[in-house]
């Protein structure tokens, strides 16, 4: 009996300890810190109730980071899911006729997912460089006026969102391709018997409903990643100019690890975490309502 218990402890103990020490304990601590004015290195901290949250939602800087993140997500989610679906539909149709070409295109679209985002952001920064970059040189050739892609306050967030879309289309495409491959051909035959002849009708009567679970999963993953945007911001703009591209996770990093305001940064963390949990709850609720037809 004791030997059995010892075996269990040896097998399970390290992992259980690590999960508690590096996941559950920190989550508990962050929820406590969020209600204090603790500064990194300080010898004491005072309980200040909801003051950090009031500061976050009440200050222009705090609201700005939240709104920027929402705007970023509002562009990246529909664009990268929509384009991901379109590319997947195109490649799915292409595969039987030109399997080689289809495989090559698929590889290309997936490249940004495997690539080191920070290195690619460095390349994007050079591509968008006001005078040495290719983008402005091409734009001028088309007769349009060159842009300050990363230092124009009105433009920078959209530039970052476009890069966010660039990065995630391939991931969504792969998930949609798997979803498309799982749709039985007999359903299309049945739809054809029922008079669904053109591609548009076939899409709305068979493909779209059958892709329900995939679409939902893709939406949730894309949303979670969009809310986490950090690497491109940290590499290319550091939240600037004048906080025009400040986001939740970047402000969490700045407040906590540059200004060492651990209490305030914890409050940002809590808001970020609760938003993500809400998103997941929404997913579960939608699944309960049976959006899928399996």
Partner 1 sequence: MRPAALIPLGLIALGAAGVLLPFVWMVSVSLKPHAEIFTPDVSLLPARPTLLNYWTALTETEIPRYLLNGAIVTGGILVLQLLVTVPCAYALAHRRFPGRGLLFGAVVAALLVPFHVTAIPIFLGLAQAKLLNTYTALILPFVASAFGLFLLRQAFAQIPAELVDAARVDGMSEMGIAWRVAFPLGLPTVIAFSIFSVTAHWNDLFWPLIAVTDPDLATPPRGILYFRDEESGDDIGPLMAGATLITAPLILGFLLAQRRFTQGLAGTGLKR
- DSSP for 238-276 reads TT-STTTT--HHHHHHIIIIIS--HHHHHHHHHHHHHHH
**Comparison of 60 and 97: residue with beta carbon closer to partner 1:** 97
The token pair at 55 is: 């500061």
**Comparison of 11 and 67: residue with beta carbon closer to partner 1:** 11
Q: What's the alpha-carbon Rg for the chain, to the nearest Å?
A: 24
The token pair at 110 is: 């997936």
Q: Using the rule CB under 8 A, which residue among 47, 58, 63, 137 binds partner 1?
A: 137
Q: Using the rule CB under 8 A, which residue among 59, 63, 123, 197 binds partner 1?
A: 123
**Comparison of 56 and 262: residue with beta carbon closer to partner 1:** 262
In sequence order, what are the residues at sequence separation of 6 or more whose Cβ sits closer than 8 angstroms to the Cβ of residue 65? Answer: 243, 246, 247, 248, 250, 251, 268
Three-class SS of residue 47? strand
**Comparison of 82 and 194: residue with beta carbon closer to partner 1:** 82
- Per CB under 8 A, 110 contacts partner 1: yes
Q: Using the rule CB under 8 A, which residue among 48, 70, 71, 117 binds partner 1?
A: 117
- Per CB under 8 A, 30 contacts partner 1: yes
- Report DSSP state, residue 120: H
Query: Of the ranges 55-63, 71-79, 190-198, 250-258, which one interacts with partner 1 (CB under 8 A)?
Result: 250-258
d(CA 34, CA 51): 9
Q: Using the rule CB under 8 A, which residue among 230, 282, 287, 292 binds partner 1?
A: 230
Q: Using the rule CB under 8 A, which residue among 72, 149, 166, 243 binds partner 1?
A: 166
- Per CB under 8 A, 11 contacts partner 1: yes
In sequence order, what are the residues at sequence separation of 6 or more whose Cβ sits closer than 8 angstroms to the Cβ of residue 263? Answer: 33, 34, 35, 36, 37, 38, 39, 45, 48, 52
- Per CB under 8 A, 249 contacts partner 1: yes
**Comparison of 194 and 288: residue with beta carbon closer to partner 1:** 288
- Per CB under 8 A, 108 contacts partner 1: yes
- Per CB under 8 A, 217 contacts partner 1: yes
């Amino acid at each position: 009996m004791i030997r059995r218990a010892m075996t269990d402890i040896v097998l399970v103990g390290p992992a259980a300890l690590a999960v508690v020490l590096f996941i559950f304990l920190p989550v508990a601590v962050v929820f406590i810190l969020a209600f204090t004015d603790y500064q990194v290195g300080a010898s004491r901290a005072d309980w200040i109730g909801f003051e950090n949250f009031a500061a976050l939602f009440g200050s222009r800087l705090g609201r700005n980071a939240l709104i920027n993140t929402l705007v970023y997500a509002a562009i990246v989610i529909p664009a990268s899911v929509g384009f991901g679906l379109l590319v997947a539909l195109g490649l799915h149709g292409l595969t039987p006729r030109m399997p080689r070409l289809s495989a090559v295109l698929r590889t290309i679209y997936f490249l940004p997912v495997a690539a080191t985002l920070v290195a690619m952001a460095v390349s994007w920064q050079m591509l968008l460089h006001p005078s040495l970059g290719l983008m402005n040189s091409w734009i001028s050739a088309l007769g349009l006026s060159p842009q300050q892609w990363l230092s124009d306050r009105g433009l920078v967030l959209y530039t970052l969102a476009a890069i966010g879309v660039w990065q995630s289309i391939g991931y969504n495409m792969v998930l949609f391709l798997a979803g498309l491959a799982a749709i039985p051909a007999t359903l299309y035959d049945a739809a054809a018997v029922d008079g669904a002849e053109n591609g548009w009708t076939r899409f709305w009567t068979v493909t779209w409903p059958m892709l329900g679970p995939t679409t939902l999963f893709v939406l949730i993953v894309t949303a979670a990643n969009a809310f986490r945007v950090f690497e491109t911001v940290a590499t290319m703009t550091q939240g600037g100019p004048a906080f025009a591209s400040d986001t939740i996770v970047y402000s969490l990093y700045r407040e906590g690890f540059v200004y060492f305001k651990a209490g305030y940064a914890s409050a940002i963390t809590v808001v970020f975490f609760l938003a993500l949990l809400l998103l997941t709850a929404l997913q579960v609720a939608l699944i309960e309502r049976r959006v899928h037809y399996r």
